[in-house]
C-alpha cells in the first residue's frame, strides 16, 4: 500500500499526480482551486508537480470543502471522495501518521504551533 512512499521525491510526485487527478475530476482550474483553499495558483501548481506537499491545514480544507479522502491522496487507499462520517474519519487520518514523512510534517507543524503559542503567551 505505501511501498512507493519511502522515497520523498517519488512520494511527492505520486501525491502531486493524485492532487491533479482530483482537481480535474471536479472540473476546477488551479486558480479556482486556490481560491477555495485560500492558496495561490503557484501553490496548487507546486502541489501538482511534486515540488511541495499540502500541509495539514490544506489537507483539512480539502476534506472539509470537497470531502477529499486524505488517505487516498497520500497513499492511494480508499475512494477519492470520502463518504464516511464520524470517528471513521479520524481512523483514516491516524493511518496517515504511520507514513514516516507525513509524520515528520505533522510533528514539525505542531512544534511550530507550540513555539508560536509560547510567543503569544509571553505578551
How confident is the model over 63-87, as a mean pLDDT?
81
The pTM of this model reads 0.64
Q: How far apart are CA 31 and CA 3, in angstroms?
A: 32
Which residues are CB-contacts of 28 (< 8 A; sequence separation ≥ 6)?
36
Q: Which grid cell sits at 123?
A: 505578551
Domain-wise residue ranges, the chain: 3-122
CATH code of 3-122, in short, is: 1.10.260.40
Q: What is the mean pLDDT of the chain?
A: 81
- Give whole-number Cα distances, 83 to 26, 33, 75, 78, 87, in Å: 16, 21, 17, 10, 13
How confident is the model over 38-46, as a mean pLDDT?
95
**Long-range contacts: 27-34, Cβ < 8 Å, 24+?**
none
Amino acid at each position: 500500500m505505501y511501498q512507493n512512499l519511502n522515497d520523498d521525491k517519488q512520494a511527492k510526485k505520486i501525491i502531486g499526480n493524485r492532487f491533479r487527478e482530483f482537481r480535474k475530476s471536479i472540473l476546477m482550474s488551479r486558480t479556482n482551486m486556490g481560491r477555495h483553499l485560500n492558496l495561490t495558483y503557484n501553490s496548487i501548481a507546486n502541489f501538482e508537480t511534486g515540488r511541495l506537499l499540502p500541509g495539514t491545514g490544506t489537507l483539512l480544507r480539502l476534506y472539509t470543502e470537497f470531502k477529499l479522502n486524505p488517505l487516498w491522496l497520500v497513499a492511494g487507499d480508499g475512494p477519492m471522495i470520502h463518504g464516511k462520517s464520524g470517528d471513521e474519519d479520524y481512523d483514516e487520518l491516524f493511518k496517515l501518521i504511520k507514513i514516516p514523512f507525513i509524520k515528520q510534517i505533522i510533528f514539525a507543524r505542531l512544534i511550530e504551533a507550540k513555539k508560536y503559542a509560547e510567543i503569544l503567551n509571553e505578551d
